[in-house]
Structure 1
Amino acid sequence: MPLSPSSRRHIDGAKAAMELRERMVRTGKNLAGQDLWTDDELNQCRDHYPDRDAIAQRLPRRSAEAIRHKCNELGLTPVRNQWTGADVMRLRKIYHSATWRELLAAFPGRSEDAIRVAANKRGMRRDRKPYKVTGNTMLDQLRTHCFEKGYTMPDLDFYAKSGKYFQRSEWRRNWFSARIIARAVRELGGEIKAEWE
């Protein structure tokens, strides 16, 4: 009984694949002309992972990307912990207002960076916290006003033409510049006045 065209193609494909494998074994190179990985190289990966620098020193003909890829193929790299739908829903509920301690407790095994990246990818934002109290009444009132209006410290520097005084929190070095603070108050439409008892 003659073979059907699809069966003939299947046999031809299998034969071509076997010839290709034999050629790669014979030449020691893959289709792209790169050297095939030897058993010794694979053992170096197994023995020294996760120290990729040590592996790279022992395998000078392999690039860092090739080593990373091969370690991944060998199952040496940890499996990435995917976010489930339930995880995302829980994160969406608490991310905006929970403290970082609460977030880390809610998602054990995940780092702060991993939680932040997952939230940012999904457009989640945290509630803004009021600016910390500095101890200078005039500066604290100015910063409270900025928070209420949604101004950032770079915005305040821009309006007050103060370089980076507010961004760098220069007052932490005990430099409360009344001139800069007063100019910022005026630029935001406020006025400074003394009150006497």
Structure 2
Amino acid sequence: MHGMIGRESSPPRPIVRRHSDWTLKEHEVVVSFWPDIEEIEKRLPHRTKAAIRGFAGKCNLRKQIHSWTDEQHSILRQRVRHGVPTAEIAKELGLTRLQVVNRMQYSRLTYPRRPPNPTGNELIDSIRKRAFECNVSMKELDEACKSGAQFRRYSASRRIHIKHVVRATKVLDGDLVIRWSDQ
């Protein structure tokens, strides 16, 4: 043979045989403990999670599909209206947080707008409060004032330029007044 001069043939590789056939006992374990994959994996340590899920799919074992009742939907609407967090709603309804979030998206339910959190700066707080009352978002205010993200990302460690404050008062139909305290 060409190219084999001076070389020994490579050592034979071990034959790996995969036992993909499921026994009746394994089948009984999967059926009896489904959908608790962790428990099935403990009882069948030689099977991976992917193999267990694949076998369960062949056995027509699927996650139970939840159908929303009118009562659950009305509870969801009320809780969202009152601003209850999704984790608490899910716990109350006995569902996962993801199921609640998906239903909110499907039903186009959104939480009511909340007023901005106080920053500790009286001037910035009054501007943000006025923007909230005028139904202007911080992003829209920043765009109107051409201030980058001064109002959106304000923190006590950042300084805000006075020109942005003046522009914000004009955008929000206000007057900038300075009052001096008499000493």
User: How would you bin the TM-score normalised by the shorter chain?
Assistant: 0.5 to 0.7
Q: Does 1:84 align with 2:74?
A: no
Correspondences of 1:1-197 after superposition (within 5 Å): 39-40=21-22, 46=30, 49=37, 54=48, 71-100=56-85, 102-111=88-97, 113-167=98-152, 169-172=153-156, 174-179=157-162, 180-197=164-181
Letter in 1 for 2:160: S
DSSP-derived class of the 1:95 partner = helix
Give the structure, 1 or 2, with the largest relative contact order (CA under 8 Å, sep 6 or more).
2
1:39 alignment partner, SS class: coil
Aligned length, in residue pairs = 147
Which AA in structure 2 matches 1:125?
Answer: T
CA RMSD, 1 decimal? 3.5
The letter for the 1-side match of 2:21 is: D
SS at match of 1:193: coil
Distance, in Å, in 2 between the alignment partners of 1:69 and 1:40 is 12
User: Which runs of 5 or more residues in structure 2 are unaligned?
Assistant: 1-19, 31-36, 42-47
Structure number with higher helix proportion: 1
The answer for unaligned runs of 5 or more in structure 1 is 1-37, 60-66
In 2 relative to 1, CA 119–142 (structure 1 residues): closer, same or farther, beyond 3 Å? same
In structure 2, the residue corresponding to 1:106 is in which secondary structure? helix
Give the 3 Å change call, closer, same or farther, for CA 184–68 of structure 1 in structure 2: farther
Deviations 1:136-193, CA, capped at 9 Å, x for gaps: 11111111111111111111111111122333x1325x11304233332233332211
1:146 maps to a residue whose letter is A
Q: TM-score, normalised by structure 2?
A: 0.63
Over the matched positions of the two proteins, sequence identity in percent amounts to 22
Amino acid at match of 1:162: S
